[in-house]
Structure 1
Amino acid sequence: MSSLPSPALRVVVRGSGSIGQRHARVFRQEGADVWLWPVRDRGLGGDAPDLDEATGAHLLDDSTGPAALRDAFVVVATDTARHVADAIEALDAGAEKVLVEKPVASSAQEAHALHEHPRHLDVWVAAPLRAHEAFRHLRRLVGRLDRGGSAHVWSQSWLPDWRPDRDYRESYSVRPAEGGVLRDLVHEIDYATVLFGRAVLLGAAIATGGPLDIEAEQAATLVWASADGFDVTARLDYITRPATRGVVVHSPDGVLEWDVAGARVRHTTPEGEVTEQVFDHDLDRDIVMGAQARAALTLRPTDPVDERIARGAPATLADGIDAVRLCDEARAMGARRTAHPHPEDRP
């Protein structure tokens, strides 16, 4: 195998699934020297290749991976149940910064050990929707609303369409301890709290049954009040075709809409005048993740929030845990409602 390069631009991606490979490819496009450390040891050595064919990244194994973490920028793209342990391993090994894929953990309680780590302020949590130009434009428009309002956030799709070449029942999404829409679609919770302020959950409805025949929740509807004076509803599900994703904000100062799939932001004034902007770069996922990668490499989670958001940086660890905590609360509230049905629903 090749010797390790200078650590200045070294990125180690832990996990070689689809998202790990995308991170490896994007960071290479950003000029980093990328090393991919699969969870399943490929037994490198001898005549084995030292480059990953899919991404062009250098390959590590369990004998070389731990040493490569020191002074590197580390991306944790393993299964959710491993996120905390893999992030702590990287910090303990001397990683310069760590970017953890979403969700940061299966629950806020599981993230406690990472939050208590002496170097927890060196941890990012992936949040690529923050890197969309349309999102940043929408945030500026929301910031001009003086009197609050209401918002509806949604991400609705059909889980079998996510990876058509793979049986969805074999994915982590169906595992009740790691998957479900609240964890899978936590990005919506994250960006909504950036737009509208910290959330206080008021209600939740969770659907564990449905057409997919899986144990994890297939749909969730949340209602919360925000610190900035907005009433917010969120609908997340795996059971809708065709896929649709976006947010609409109603206020005395007009209506704002973000069509995520169309990369389009529309502003309707109180007088009915409509202004629409399309952000073509948002349609290329690698460009969006490249913006997140650059921000994560050059900024720190402790930098001013406005600078981080303006640059498309990931979420901080505290932000990532807050989003998971809201999901935990929704799941618990939904479970209580299932356990105590309305009198009319009782036999």
Structure 2
Amino acid sequence: MKDSKRILIIGFGSIARKHARILNQNWPGFEIGIYKKGIFFKSDELNLCKRKFTTYQECIEWRPNYVIIASPCSFHLNQALFFAKQGIPTFIEKPIGKGNESKSSWDELFAYSKTVPIMVGYVFRHDECLKELENILSLNSYGEIIDIESYCGSWLPDWRPNSDYKKTVSAQNKFGGGVLLELSHEIDLINYLFGPIEIKYASSMNTNSLEIDVEDIALIQAECLSCKFLTMKLNFCTKPQERYIKIRFSNANITWDLNNQIIRIKEPECKESILYKSENDLDYKYVKQFENFFKFAENIESSRCSVYDAFESLNLICCAKKMSSKN
């Protein structure tokens, strides 16, 4: 891949700034442009961006080689359609949408994705621990899967310490906030590893501990072919933060600690031990994600997360939301 590439980032929130930093560190020859409506607030990452745009026309005239859509998810589909129509390889941050978009718009995006490289940013699909866990599951060494538990708990005000959390995308329904959309990595991972999954029960609520207008805690119970007892618990209203997937086999428990990038095993009559530990930093999976995207755009390798994969995760989120409203 030649270094003289132009990459356009749509939006400039926390994940967009993270992408700008990682791109600058790992692809220093790339020229980064930013599209954002309104004021560009000063930040170290803004200094990495050579061009700043406030209209789509300016973006197109710049002729970017790639587009990264890192705006609120309520804008993702329309923005993806606009740039896909220009034939520009497009990376869409997760989730792919909010869930209230029209079927015709989704069909249009699916049609474009057959000729234009479009990939979605479920970054944990590029995590080294995920690959190791897939290998462990393929060996069938620990007996029958009895129970699967996925948990992600954190404190929303800690996500972006320099911002008023009540004004962030995560805290506002109109932008696609709430734990079911914001913490959809867990839903995507479980469906990727064990799917197709079928949701049997879902409940969510606003605990009022954060004074926001979205659900801050959710419970999903599901089943799949290999396991009838599958639970996902999501929240951003608790401390300390914790994030894991625990698989209870008939002969062992396997736990993937996502925050510390460790896979542990507990066997009968044995102390818990480490099966695998990543030696790379937390940015590594983002680098691998962009490597995959650029190779996918050049038809060198397939995407690790297609629009169809991400749409399947969005359908599961919508199913959970619908069940939650009834409960």
TM bucket (normalised to shorter chain) is: 0.7 to 0.9
2:248 corresponds to: 250
Is the Cα–Cα contact under 8 Å of residues 206 and 215 in structure 2 kept in the other structure?
Answer: yes
Alignment of 1:152 onto 2:146: no
Three-state SS of the structure 1 residue aligned to 2:36 is coil
Residues 28-177 of structure 1: pairs in structure 2 closer than 5 A: 28-31=24-27, 33-40=30-37, 54-61=46-53, 62=55, 63-69=57-63, 72-95=65-88, 97-107=89-99, 109-110=101-102, 113-117=105-109, 118-121=111-114, 122-145=117-140, 147-177=144-174
Is the Cα–Cα contact under 8 Å of residues 94 and 122 in structure 2 kept in the other structure?
Answer: yes
How far apart are 1:229 and its partner, in Å? 3.6
1:327 corresponds to: 317
Deviations, residues 269-328 of structure 1 (Å, cap 9, x unaligned)? 4564754122131xx33222111110111136999xxx86xxxx6421111111111111
Identity %: 22
Alignment of 1:11 onto 2:7: yes
Question: For residue 204 of structure 2, what is the amino acid of its counterpart?
Answer: I
Taking the aligned partners of 2:12 and 2:312, their CA distance within structure 1 comes to: 27
Is the Cα–Cα contact under 8 Å of residues 67 and 93 in structure 1 kept in the other structure?
Answer: no
Residues 19-34 of structure 1: pairs in structure 2 closer than 5 A: 19-31=15-27, 33-34=30-31
Gap change, CA 1:278 and 1:112, over 3 Å in 2: farther
Taking the aligned partners of 1:108 and 1:144, their CA distance within structure 2 comes to: 40
Aligned length: 314
Is the Cα–Cα contact under 8 Å of residues 216 and 236 in structure 2 kept in the other structure?
Answer: yes
Taking the aligned partners of 2:104 and 2:189, their CA distance within structure 1 comes to: 22
**Which has the higher mean CA deviation after the structures are superposed, 102-111 or 245-254?**
102-111
Deviations, residues 207-227 of structure 1 (Å, cap 9, x unaligned)? 123311221101000001124
Three-state SS of the structure 2 residue aligned to 1:29 is helix
Three-state SS of the structure 1 residue aligned to 2:209 is coil
Three-state SS of the structure 2 residue aligned to 1:179 is coil
Taking the aligned partners of 1:110 and 1:285, their CA distance within structure 2 comes to: 36
Is the Cα–Cα contact under 8 Å of residues 76 and 86 in structure 1 kept in the other structure?
Answer: yes
Is the Cα–Cα contact under 8 Å of residues 221 and 233 in structure 1 kept in the other structure?
Answer: yes
Gap change, CA 1:237 and 1:316, over 3 Å in 2: same
Taking the aligned partners of 2:188 and 2:299, their CA distance within structure 1 comes to: 18
2:278 corresponds to: 279
Three-state SS of the structure 1 residue aligned to 2:185 is helix
Residues 175-324 of structure 1: pairs in structure 2 closer than 5 A: 175-177=172-174, 178-229=176-227, 231-269=229-267, 272=270, 274-276=272-274, 277-281=276-280, 284-299=281-296, 314-324=304-314
Gap change, CA 1:235 and 1:302, over 3 Å in 2: farther
TM-score (normalised: structure 1) = 0.82
Three-state SS of the structure 2 residue aligned to 1:217 is coil
Query: Structure 1: which 5+ runs fail to align?
Result: 1-5, 44-51, 338-347
Taking the aligned partners of 2:213 and 2:18, their CA distance within structure 1 comes to: 28
Is the Cα–Cα contact under 8 Å of residues 24 and 34 in structure 1 kept in the other structure?
Answer: no
Three-state SS of the structure 1 residue aligned to 2:149 is strand
Is the Cα–Cα contact under 8 Å of residues 13 and 37 in structure 1 kept in the other structure?
Answer: yes
1:340 corresponds to: none
Gap change, CA 1:108 and 1:125, over 3 Å in 2: farther
Taking the aligned partners of 2:251 and 2:293, their CA distance within structure 1 comes to: 35
Gap change, CA 1:274 and 1:264, over 3 Å in 2: same
Is the Cα–Cα contact under 8 Å of residues 21 and 45 in structure 2 kept in the other structure?
Answer: no
Deviations, residues 163-221 of structure 1 (Å, cap 9, x unaligned)? 12211111111212410000000011111111111110000111123311221101000
Structure 1 residue ranges (4+ consecutive) displaced by more than 6 angstroms after TM superposition: none
